[in-house]
Structure 1
């Protein structure tokens, strides 16, 4: 099949876009509002966009609390969502009222970060502490504004639980990070394979 992605008349039961661009890492974003109240929410549009400097982004459908909080305080933390925290991650996506702590509602522990005021999730094995770089209000091909917002942050400090380091490297199969697929589907990384990069190769897919 082939269909016009602008009109999005695909004829399927559900829009396949999120199932096509998959798996996607989950940005489990903790933030503080202007009054210092914590917020925690998962974002399926999340990724690293630069390794030098370390820059990550998350994108929000609508001007949600996480975006507003980052704009207000200039900081956020990306917590690694793992298999053993899948239920809490999912619960934290519920539409809690403004000012309600998802930490408290999900039984998670806010722990002081090293370089930012925003707490990380105490139960996660890895957390990226970030300072805000910019927020982009996304537009379409016609220049029309959408209700989509992309937040970019530079990682200023990284927490890694020593227990997940093996021979100087992170053991991803021990971490079992979650990934978002399409529809209501998720995946977990519990198997890996290796390939050597071709000599002289310039592509990014096999970059270290």
Structure 2
């Protein structure tokens, strides 16, 4: 096993360092975020930083890169305050990855990569029709992270679409049945398989013995 120090990490070539640190954190949820701009033009971008914030109220966050690097999604969310998050499946992973390209403002990634925008009543942002698990959110808070000029964007879930065979009796979503994929780094994609579900762990203070 090799050990690395801060000076080692800082000495690495830029892309080597990015790949190493990005994959070091392990597998991540990867999704497509759908938005519209003030002219109603659709936008679609891939993100691997989606995180559960809380269930009551139902809050989900994601990290938006610095504005210079990824401005359209954040600008659209700020303008409309509505967006969608869509799971990615093996049948369209290549198209999903292509949305990471830096398209000019006003160009729809939906059209460029061949995915289908889907709209629901009273929700201005587009869903990805091909996705089996997707949900819409309203913007709640944007928290600047000064350390690297990124932003934590937090939204509240207002609508959900899920294939029926994915939902268990206790509300657990069997993502392997939907073939939702995960990612590692910026260009590695993986399928998933459930190992086992365990019962809720309770700490029994009565079982402690003091010697």
Please say whether Structure 1 and Structure 2 have the same fold, judged by a TM-score greater than 0.5.
Answer: yes
- In structure 2, the residue matched to 1:27 is 31
Kindly state the Cα deviation for residue 183 of structure 1 after the two structures are TM-superposed: 5.6
Q: Aligned pair count?
A: 195
Q: Distance in 2 between matches of 1:55 and 1:189?
A: 24
As a proportion of its length, which structure holds more helix?
A: 2
Distance 2:134 2:141 in 1: 20
Q: Which has the larger radius of gyration?
A: 2
Q: Which of 156, 159, 164 is equivalent to 2:158?
A: 156
So what's the TM-score if we normalise by structure 1?
Answer: 0.83
Q: 1:101 matched to which residue of 2?
A: 108
- Relative to structure 1, the CA distance from residue 196 to residue 164 in structure 2 (aligned partners, 3 Å threshold; closer, same or farther) is closer
Q: Distance in 1 between matches of 2:61 and 2:86?
A: 13
Q: Which residue, out of 56, 59, 66, partners 2:60? A: 56
Aligned-partner SS, 1:76? strand
Q: Which stretch shows the higher mean deviation, 175-184 or 16-25?
A: 175-184
Deviant stretches of 4+, over 6 Å = none
Deviation at 1:193, TM superposition (A): 1.6
Measured in 1, the distance between the counterparts of 2:124 and 2:197 equals 38
- Match of 2:107, SS state, is coil
1:147 and 1:129 mapped to 2: Cα distance?
A: 26
Q: Is the 8 A contact 1:115 1:156 kept in 2?
A: no
Q: Which ranges in structure 2 are unaligned for 5 or more consecutive residues? A: 205-211
Partner of 2:80: 73
Instruction: State the Cα distance separating 1:191 from its structure 2 match.
Output: 3.4
Is residue 97–residue 187 contact of structure 2 (8 Å, CA) maintained in 1? no
**What is aligned with 2:22?**
18
Alignment match, 1:199: 202
Match of 1:82 among 86, 89, 94: 89
> SS in structure 2 opposite 1:18?
helix
Measure the CA separation in 2 of the matches of 1:150 and 1:113: 26
Structure 1: tracts of 5 or more residues without a match: 141-145, 202-208
Q: 1:48 to 1:114 in 2, by over 3 A?
A: farther
TM-score, normalized by length of structure 2? 0.82
Q: Which moved more, 1:65-74 or 1:53-62?
A: 53-62
